[in-house]
């Protein structure tokens, strides 16, 4: 049986921002952490790119920390999915996880803390890094947190949260995603 491990989860946010600069800040924020697993999570969230947030972040990690192996979740479209998918990937790849460290931006810190407690439990800690965030994100965070927290404890509602995330992205870009996971 594998030994217990620490899993570090880096949540992606928005392909239309500078994810490389975000990863530079993430690397700085986690420089004293030595997790056995590093999971980058985030799906295809922009019609302007065929890449996922996780893939774009992994390219920055490969450039800045080439020795660091990363695992990718390229399907998550919201914070709840970031945590659910990353937890599954961690357990599938290592088994017992003693501690989770979740990294996100400051605008999502409170939501990540609530969702991590619901999805992962008490063995999760949050590290936030500053990055410019649109006013609409700050305005929608309380309601988004409520809906995603409900979905965390009532799994049957998760498909509605995913659909809502897709709808928001479509309205934001005025575009229709034919397939989010292309």
Domain ranges of the chain: 5-173
pLDDT of the residue at 18? 82
pLDDT in tens, 119-139: 999 999 999 999 888 888 899
pLDDT in tens, 34-76: 999 999 999 988 877 889 999 999 999 999 998 989 999 999 9
pLDDT in tens, 82-110: 999 999 999 999 988 999 999 999 999 99
pLDDT of the residue at 49? 81
Q: pTM above the 0.85 mark?
A: yes
CATH fourth-level superfamily of 5-173? HUPs (3.40.50.620)
Per residue, the 3-state secondary structure of the chain, as one string, reads: CCCCEEEEEEECCCCCCCHHHHHHHHHHHCCCCCCCEEEEECCCCCCCCCCCHHHHHHHHHHHHCCCCCCEEECCCCCHHHHHHHHHHHHHHHHCCEEEEEEEEEHHHHHHHHHHHHHHCCCCEEEEEECCCCCHHHHHHHHHHHHHHHHHHHCHHHHHHHHHHHHHHHHHHHCCCCCCCCC
């Amino acid at each position: 049986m594998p030994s217990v491990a620490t899993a570090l989860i880096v949540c992606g946010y928005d392909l239309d921002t500078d994810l490389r600069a975000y990863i530079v800040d993430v690397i700085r924020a986690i420089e004293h952490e030595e997790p056995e697993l590093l999971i980058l999570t985030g799906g295809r969230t922009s019609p302007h790119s065929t890449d996922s947030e996780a893939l774009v972040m992994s390219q920055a990690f490969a450039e800045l920390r080439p020795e660091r192996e990363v695992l990718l979740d390229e399907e998550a479209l919201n914070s709840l999915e970031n945590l659910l998918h990353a937890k599954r990937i961690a357990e599938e790849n290592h088994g017992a996880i003693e501690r989770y460290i979740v990294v996100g931006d400051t605008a999502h810190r409170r939501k990540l803390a609530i969702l991590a407690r619901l999805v992962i439990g008490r063995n999760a800690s949050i590290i936030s890094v500053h990055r410019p965030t649109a006013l609409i994100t700050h305005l929608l965070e309380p309601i988004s947190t409520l809906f995603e927290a409900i979905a965390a404890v009532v799994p049957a509602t998760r498909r509605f949260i995913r659909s809502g995330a897709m709808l928001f992205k479509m309205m934001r870009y005025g575009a229709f995603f034919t397939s989010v996971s292309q």
